[in-house]
Amino acid sequence: MSPSAKSQAVGSPHITNREVAAELALVADLLQIVEANRFRVMAFQNAAEAVRTLGQDINILHAEGQLESIHGVGEAIAKAIAEMLETGQVQEFEKLKAEVPIGVVEMLHVPDVGPKTARRLWQELNVTSVDALREAAEAGKLRELKGFGAKSEQKILRGIELAARRSDDRIPLGEARPLAQSLVTSLRARLPERALQRLEVTGSLRRWRETIGDVDMLAVSDTPDAVMEAFRTLPQVESVLGSGGAKTSVVLTTGMRVDLLVVEAKQWGAALQYFTGNKEHNIEMREIALRQGWSLNEKSLTATGSGKAPEGEERFFEDEADLYAFLGLDWMPPEMRENRGEINLARRHQLPTLVTLGDIRGELHGHTTWSDGAADIAEMADAARGRGYAYWSVSDHSVGLGMVGGLDPERLQAQAAEIAKLNERWANQGEDFRLLRGCEVEVLADGTLGLPDEAMAALDVVVASIHSGLRQDRETITARCLKVVYNPHVDILGHPTGRIIGVRPPSELDVERVLHACAETGTVVEINAHPSRLDLNDVYARRAVELGCKIAINSDAHERAGMEMMEYGIATARRAWLRPQDVINTYPLEQMLGFLKDRRGPVQRA
């Protein structure tokens, strides 16, 4: 914190970014329970996420009058944050908290207990805590509520158990990566290029694992003391755990630990390799080196005396690829370094060419203001065109999902007219971009869909997704999903397991059985790129392609910026070893449509 910022903060309670984000998220939950306007709920949810991943101390931004510079924080929420930072609380929030017992909010963390259910449990049964919910379920009292039965009670008890087992030790990728990127940007801005020749995030974050522990960073510099000083004093840093000549460990304002190690230029290749692969990958790499008479460590290869080089001789590598080549291996993309067979392929020079962000030609699952999106069709199309896409599917929710205003056949027809008008404009301008008519159709509890077959048959793309009843037993939810896969009008199975990383575990879906059915029927399987989902995960996505399935990678964007999440889906696909030909939205429009199960002829180019 700068001296001026410190002086401005004197006398006021120091509230951290984490505390501000938690308060905003709590208000969003409270607003849902009292059934406030959904756009107001979304505003607080977005603001909470923005503050949670903010790369600097929010107190400094407040002191500089820059709270509204935070993406997703408007004037009203900025005023509330300012009040919180200055007084320790917000009067409006305190009134809202007085309306709803805090235990009712805590029940939202139990799988299958949404805002409406929590409200009913509170108002109709006077259940106001998770403990009270468990007692009521065990005593058979929940079935007094209309729509609840013995199975509902068992699902809730199972959900309480799952919530209790949840670990907060690991940080979701979607939270950790933006913070790490902000550190890289800030550190580079503080130091001249000659003082910081190289800087890279390593470890599980470089491998794009869906959750991480601590963040590890590696740098090359001839002036490590200057780098450490700059690192310790970054605005993102809350406290310093330890600092020496070559390594510093800090805790950020978000609570995340970050370690920075500085090495010499000649050590870079070995260090980057050492600090990137997982434990098993690195063990195998050390074994390969030993068999060739070398000991591999984080700085170099050292001769053991059992090979041609004299004992103690060191070999240094300025790049990773040089180290791998010296050991007879091709360079492996970081996402593959999990010891799942990649080393054998690298030895045989048979590594696959992995899909990249530049291979994506369009998306097949995204939302607009016709359901729960924050931007209209034209705005979302402009964002897609800005990314160089040739097509984008308007895939708003169908009826059947209670939390959003879903589309029925009549509204889909009205939406079609708007899509046709936009497509006509681009065709007249000679622009090679088309909107597709799609829908994310809700899968109901019995496996039926939120739209009739004739309505789905008129669409270009049908994505079927399960959003409710995710705690059904394995056989029930699998049968429900299979019914969807065998529907001739369903093209894509959306985010199949329904998980929310760190919040909601995946359903008990028999994924293997479902993937076999998808391969049989030609149903495309989605990797939902939103970092809270990444569903299918890398392991199942790889299995899907092994079985003969095609994959669609979609950001599931609900606003223009949401399309930026595509890189997370690409990373998941790369961890699954997917090639461009495995992903249908790497193909031109007509070829892509040829992969859809219910091909309805060429897209209308009005």
Specify the DSSP element, H or E, that contains 420. helix 409-428
Single-letter amino acid code for the residue at 523:
T
User: Start-end ranges of CATH 1.10.150.110 in the chain?
Assistant: 3-100
Instruction: Specify the CATH architecture of the domain 103-165.
Output: Orthogonal Bundle (1.10)
Model pLDDT, residue 598: 65
The single-letter code of the amino acid at 524 is: V
In the numeric block, which tokens belong to residue 539? 């392991």
Query: Global pTM?
Result: 0.79
Q: Which residues contact 5 (CB under 8 A, 6 or more apart)?
A: 57, 59, 60, 63, 64
C-alpha to C-alpha distance for 49 and 72, rounded to whole angstroms = 9
pLDDT for position 53:
67
Could you give the count of Cα atoms lying within 13 Å of 117 in the half-sphere of its Cβ?
22
Q: Where in the chain are all domains bearing CATH 3.20.20.140? A: 361-593
Architecture of domain 269-347 in this structure: 2-Layer Sandwich (3.30)
Per-residue pLDDT, 600: 45
Looking at the chain, the domain(s) classified CATH 1.10.150.20 span 103-165
Q: What is the 3-state secondary structure (H, E, C) of 526-537?
A: EEECCCCCCECC
All CATH 3.30.460.10 domain ranges of the chain, comma separated, are 171-263
Sheet holding 301-303, edge to edge: 294-296, 301-303, 314-315
**Which residue bears the tokens 């944050």?**
81
Residue-by-residue DSSP string for 187-203? HHHHS-GGG-SEEEE-H
Q: In angstroms, rounded to a whole number, what is the distance separating the alpha carbons of residues 139 and 157?
A: 11
pLDDT in tens, 338-360: 989 999 999 999 999 999 999 99
CA distance 275 to 13: 39
Whole-angstrom distance, CA of residue 605 vs CA of residue 10: 63
Q: Which residues of the chain form CATH 3.30.210.10?
A: 269-347
Helix (H/G/I), strand (E/B), else coil: 394 = strand
483, two tokens: 């019914």
Domain 171-263 has CATH 3.30.460.10: yes
Q: What residues of the chain score a pLDDT lower than 70?
A: 1-13, 53-56, 162-169, 401-404, 598-606
Residue 464: strand pairing partners: 441, 493
Give the per-residue pLDDT at 345: 97
CATH number for 3-100 (one of 1.10.150.110, 3.40.50.300, 3.90.1570.10, 3.60.21.10): it is 1.10.150.110
CATH number of 361-593: 3.20.20.140
